[in-house]
Chain A
Amino acid sequence: MAVRVNPELIDDLQHFGAKDAVKCYQCGNCSAACSHSDDPYVFPRKSMRYLQMGLEKPLRSALDPWLCYYCGKCSEQCPRGAEPGETMMGVRRWLTSEYDFTGISRLLYRSWSSELMAILVVAALTGVGFLSYGYLGGGGKLSVYDGPGAFLPPHAIHVFDWTMGIILALLLSINCIRMWHFTMRNEHATPVRPALYVRYLLLLPVHFFTQKRFRHCENKTPWTNHLILMLSYLTMLTLIMVFLKQMQEGPQVNWYAHTFGYLSAMGLVGTTIFAIHGRIKKDAAYHRHSHESDWMFLGLLLFVSVTGIVQHILHRAGLPMAANITYVVHLMGVVPMLALEVPFSKWSHLAYRPLAIYFAQLQQAAQAEGALPFGGPAEAHPAA
């Protein structure tokens, strides 16, 4: 079948951060240097090739980009300065926007001003919304932080966060289904029996919580940081979604709940500052290039973590009004971060990565089942 070529693909990808792919001369050093690259998923050279040739469809159906964790070894050794690691990062951003059916992701990634505007608009709506609720539907008094008559009572926040959670989960699920459709239902992919889907289902939680593939990178620091950040984030999310009442109680410290809060706050702030510092200093290949969306993500994360900590401290310090104001400001960071990043941007990779590992395993299992009875080779990589 003829292959459809999109000559503008490589230009398009420039907006997603894959700026140097055009320099690649296809020597394959990157693929051989990578500790994740292995048959049948040999990367990143092949993705570079797709980009240069404008092979949009194979690139969209590729799982390779999600199997790369950007340790930067390929970029360090690249003889051309084609930055294969950053190219893979750019392709992941592009894939996120391809999976997203709304087109919002594409808009946010391609234009930093749109992303900034979106953040500001959502933040403003959030601020106005919560202040109105506080005065009209909530406690009404900005000077009451917890207990009866609280300005923003936990039960009301729960209604809001669960509603938002369900909406975001729905959006992300649709995008995940699109990812499955692109990667598992294209003409080159091997059909997979439903039973296989069940057999390997455990891979999803395992890789989600441990990120153990990341550990195979030669440099272990990024994996440790990433794991701490992710676990801190999940802990905090659980505390807020389930134990908000206990978190908000005070002014004394509830050690059984707050211990977890303190630990995850430390984890969030520490890893975020580490990442920001690394990106400013450009201390490693994976920190050499920063897309605008990286800065906004890190900025929001740090803002949310710090305001969260400050409101907690203010409350314990007996300043409920200041605590309430900081609380609203904190929410003005949390809502845009979740609403924009979870289905449309950076946070979505928490879902796409384990899914990609799962799908890759399914493909390999299906190919092994379908291998020729005379010991012939299994079909090559589906995306090829």
Chain B
Amino acid sequence: MITSLIIDDEHYAREELADLLSESSDIEVIGQCSNAIEALQMITKLKPQLIFLDIQMPRITGIELIGMLDPDIMPRIVFVTAYDEFAIKAFDNHAFDYLLKPIDEKRLQQTLNRVRKDLKPRSVSILTPEQLTHLPCYSGSKLKVISIKEVEFVFSDLCGVHVATDKEQVHTHLTLKVLEEKTSLIKCHRQYLISPEAISEIEIQETGAEVTTGSGAKVPVSRRYLKPLKQIFGFL
């Protein structure tokens, strides 16, 4: 059985694809998501082997979504689009799997056959932006997209990863690893990343240091990350 996830913002588009997939007994649809934020959470939680990914979605596109995925849990991707000249060109150039809406059953079968032969995820980094500009977040049960410019620091604890702005703290399914690699945030502690622009004070302490952010929040700095942090501000 190949576990798969359908990600599309249109209800009927998801149903249609689910219907078509139900005819293949070896494909198990373990979930449906209507936007990238839900999708990020579901992929992280369910770790599907295959995703059917619509490109045009609210706020965060399908392409942006895969840039947010931790390479460790990257599934095999089949793109689905109604019309997107540039993306289709890129898919063709790199032999990525894609389906056009309305979906042709024959083509779906061909794509599934290719996937069955080789379920290994392919690197799609060629399509994805180097840097994330927006972070998909949850505030309670409400979905939220936060601009990277607003972020003061992020940290992880037992509950997951938290994003702190000068106004609020929200939850995200992005991993610290992805955030460190794909944003301008820098690591200052095993569990903390900080935005250099948000630092207003660094107080040196015995175990390292403590940063005070623009909004007055305190962020710990461990000794091994202190030196690189000081270097950013020109202290040697």
Q: Do A and B bind each other?
A: no
A→B interface (CB under 8 Å): none
B→A interface (CB under 8 Å): none
